[in-house]
Structure 1
Amino acid sequence: MTESKEATPARRNTWQREAVRQALRGRDDFVTAQELHREIEDSGQRIGLATVYRALASLADDGEADTLRNSEGEHYRFCHTDDHHHHLVCRNCGATEEITEPMVEEWTQRVAAEFGYTDISHTIDIFGLCKVCTAEAKESHD
């Protein structure tokens, strides 16, 4: 997620954009455009995959969706806060927590200043195993 949210021209709120917004809002984890497309189609609404991609990109641009890029591609999640934040993401089940941490913000400012950078932005996603997956992994090893 980008740190600054600049004013963007008003977007037309089409039924397709609203369908993508609602489908994304109904999930707690990150999802790919293809997965969201399939969910919308399975609910009986006909929508093109390219339209889902465009709607997700515009929702991310407007700060309504978080994006996560990893080795498996780009994933989206409904953004529950307008404040700058980071994520803890479970590598196993995809559970996600939005976190704010002043120490991270202070560190990024200090490092940028040390190298003479200004007008910085950053995205930090921390991957690990959530409590549930950790407990399940421990049970399966016992």
Structure 2
Amino acid sequence: MATEEPAYEVVREGPVFELRRYQPQVLAETEVQGRFDKVRGKAFGILADYIFGNNQAAEKIAMTAPVTQRPAASDDDQAGTRIEMTAPVTQRPAQTDGDSFIISFVMPERFTLETVPRPNDPRVTHREEPVNDRAYGATRGSG
């Protein structure tokens, strides 16, 4: 069974990558503190628990690609530029102090901010990622 991916247009192609512009997406997010290599599993577990049914509707939500990481805050205008890695994981450049990250799961396209199941865990929040003028890289074949 294929993993659902958000709609995108290919802006540019290279021999082993694509630059993509994604359509708006509803995200489920959680923030974690610490070195990313030490806390990414914790963040993934919090979000996985949410999509496995720990939400007010007790609804299981299909896993989608990509999963994203971004700094929790940054003064740098370029921070937050998403650089996709192999699917389903994407990554944003680390915050300057490098100790606070927001990990996001893209919700299936059928959900809006109004219809996505509300989490039981207050560490999980939702937001809409609007389309913007930035293009994001993806390794060819990564989805």
TM-score, normalising length from structure 1?
A: 0.24
Greater RCO, 1 or 2 (C-alpha within 8 Å, sep 6+): 2
Higher strand share: 2
* Higher helix content, 1 or 2: 1
State the structure with more CA Rg: 1
